[in-house]
A and B are shown apart, each in its own frame.
Chain A
Amino acid sequence: MGNTMTDQTQATGSTGPVPSQKDDSSSAIIRVESMNKWYGDFHVLKDLNLSVRQGERIVICGPSGSGKSTFIRCINRLEEHQQGKIIVDNIELTDDIRHIDTVRREVGMVFQHFNLFPHLTVLENCCLSPIWVRKTPRKEAEEAAMEYLERVKIPDQANKFPGQLSGGQQQRVAIARALCMKPKIMLFDEPTSALDPEMIKEVLDVMIELAGSGMTMLCVTHEMGFAKTVADRVIFMDGGEIVEEAPPHEFFTNPQEPRTQKFLEQILDH
């Protein structure tokens, strides 16, 4: 689907609502166009538009219930959207299962509650998908996994089970597990909110290191320090809408919208 469109990309090049699957806004790796989502009658996501360039690091924040988690979960279709378009790495997310699986292979995700597989060792957790989905030979997969485990600084826990690790260690394993699929995009869904305060830093350090390596990252988080250091853009969501979108220095020093100002006051106060 859409491969033949490559030649036409330049020809079409218009800004209008061209019904093409290929990107016309050049290097956007994620494009969300007037996306809407409902839970029954409840309108969770309202007309969201977002375009993320390769290598961009985006932090999404907002009060709880604002739809930020739902939003990034739509990007690898853990949630379905009902209206509008989501195009990830030139593939539009529709009901087509093959497209969904292809997209998920390229999009890593880290969850609030880690969601490691408790019946598999740390190393097996990391190798599972490379072996079964990417069809990597086990030896190769294990070597790659060890490299990533070293990168998140827990190679010595490789043969333990997740239940034997601390929360911070588990979350770092979860990051390594996602990286083992060599994704183009990483989604973080409140990766530090289930952690004890002393473990937050070790996870953030790993994420900062990852951001430095040029990974495209979308991160739902309340860690404003993290947003300040690594984000290219901060997106503020409230009531299912994108209220404000700005580079971090502007976002934190000079927020435009009253809702953003109020939110920032509340979380930066203490």
Chain B
Amino acid sequence: MKKQTVDSRPAGPKPWYDPRIRSLFFQFVAIALVFWGGWTLVDNTLSNMESRGISTGFGFLNETAGFGIIMSLVPYDATMTYGRTFFVGLMNTLLVSAMGIVAATIIGFIIGVARLSSNWLVAKLALVYIEVIRNIPLLLQIFFWYFAVLGSLPSPRQSVEVGGSFFLNNRGLYLPEPITQDGFGLVWGALIVAIVAVVGLRTWAKRRQLATGQIFPTFKVGFAILVILPVLAYLTAGAPLEWDLPALKGFNFGGGITIIPELAALWIALSLYTASFIAEIVRSGILSVSKGQTEAAKALGLPNGLTLRLVVIPQAMRVIIPPLTSQYLNLAKNSSLATAIGYPDLVAVFMGTTLNQTGQAVEVVAITMAVYLTISLTISLFMNIYNRAVAIKER
């Protein structure tokens, strides 16, 4: 087809006036520049490192690390390898990012809706929250939570104590750790059965609504099933769960689960900060749905709740999702500020200590950047899939 159009023209333009030839030319130039730049960088680095006697390669990942990490989700001690430190840091980054995304989303949606409340006080409080939090640098907020709030908690000996099993002090929050005994499999089994039952219930309720028009209280009943079945199983199995209570040993607590103040401060700061942006996104999303839509829904007799659920939110979501995605990405990337207060995330552990000890700057930085890129692209991918699902089909 291309050929035909070219042939059908009596006399083509001169090649340097032909837009297709032009664009091919500039693309070729661009690619050549990129390759030349990349090659120069690599070549330069390699020859420089060679002249300084720095070995390249990823062999250092198998060497013993020899330093401790204050918090890890996987078993770790100083005798393990640098590869292991990478994994510990990665898990810590993922943990705080995931916790942050969940909390920021919940807080953000609540504040965003509150901002639109017809209650003057609620709306103004939400406004103040948003304007204060999003206009203060995140790093300052992390410091604020870490040093000013959590740092001023009492020392371990004067811990705030609840029922002898929860302790809060300046070393962290100590919770009892559940330790499963024989027979706890029954509870897991019951939980799985309950989930299957709820999914089944939902399908059934939908089908029944289609057939008879009756609306089944799926949420309430489903919730009840999810709670009651595992609890019953737990009781029948003879309560097969023991709690490892934290206790004061010497100057600090041992046993139980510890949430270190570094994690708490980072989590709180990241969540509150990102939530203030999400709130504005949610607000703009809801406002983007024209007033006529709510009026039409009301005129059809739909009560407020259903209007919001069936008409406003589905339309608001298509406006909310893309900027929400970039907030999630920001949160994941901002979690690298952990370094500032010593939360052992990927940057602190791997690009900090490991890099300092091994000197393998190029490899370590490359790996770390690749990890953040992967995390971000993964978040983007899932959000795009979701976005496609809620997008409005027009034309």
Asked if A240 is at the interface of the complex by the 8 Å CB criterion, the answer is: no
The interface bits of chain B over 301-323 (1 if a CB of A lies within 8 angstroms of the residue's CB, else 0) are 11100100011001100100000
Please, which residues of chain B bring their CB within 8 A of the CB of A133?
300-303, 306
Q: Give the segment of B100-108, B289-297, B340-348 that binds chain A.
A: B289-297
Are A164 and B213 in touch, CB under 8 angstroms? no
**Docked CA distance A104–B294 (Å):** 13
Specify which chain B residues have a CB less than 8 angstroms from the CB of A111 in the assembled complex.
Answer: 292, 295-296, 299
Which chain A residue shows the least CB distance to B299?
A109
Kindly count the residue-residue contacts between A and B in the assembled complex, taking CB atoms under 8 Å apart.
Answer: 94
Q: Which of A130-156 contact B (CB under 8 A)?
A: 131-141
Q: Is A113 an interface residue (CB 8 A)?
A: yes
Contacts of A76 in B (CB 8 A): 298-299
Instruction: Give the segment of B63-71, B85-93, B152-160, B387-395 that binds chain A.
Output: B387-395
* Chain A residues in 8 Å Cβ range of B300: 104, 108, 128-129, 133, 177-178, 181
The smallest beta-carbon distance between A176 and chain B, in angstroms, is 12
Q: Give Cα A236 to B318, complex, Å.
A: 43
Cα distance A140–B210 in the bound complex, in angstroms: 9
- Chain B residues with CB under 8 Å of A208's CB are none
On whether the beta carbons of B292 and A104 are closer than 8 Å, the reply is no
> Is A250 in contact with chain B by the CB < 8 A criterion?
no
Query: What chain A residues lie within 8 Å of B295 (beta carbons)?
Result: 78, 111, 115
Q: Flag if A117 contacts B296 (CB, 8 Å).
A: yes
Interface residues on A, range: 35 or more
Task: List the A side residues contacting B303 at CB < 8 Å.
Answer: 97, 101, 133
Taking the closest CB of chain B, its distance from the CB of A257, in whole angstroms, is 32
Please give me the residue from chain B that is nearest to A137 by CB atom. Answer: B213
List chain B residues, Cβ under 8 A from A135: 213-215
Complex: chain B residue closest to A79, CB-CB: B295
A137 to B211, CA, bound (A): 5
In whole angstroms, what is the CA distance A116 to B298 when docked? 12
- Residue A2 interfacial (CB < 8 Å): no
Residues of A within 8 A of B393 (CB): 119, 161
CA distance A118 to B314 in the complex (A): 10
The 4 A-B residue pairs with the shortest CB-CB distance, nearest first, are A115-B296, A105-B301, A163-B394, A129-B300
Chain B residues within CB distance 8 Å of chain A: 209-215, 290, 292-293, 295-303, 306, 310-311, 314-315, 318, 392-395
User: Assuming A104-B301, A119-B393, what are 20 further A-B pairs, CB within 8 angstroms?
Assistant: A78-B298, A104-B298, A104-B300, A105-B301, A107-B299, A111-B295, A111-B296, A117-B297, A117-B315, A119-B315, A128-B300, A129-B297, A129-B301, A131-B209, A132-B302, A132-B306, A133-B300, A133-B301, A140-B213, A161-B395
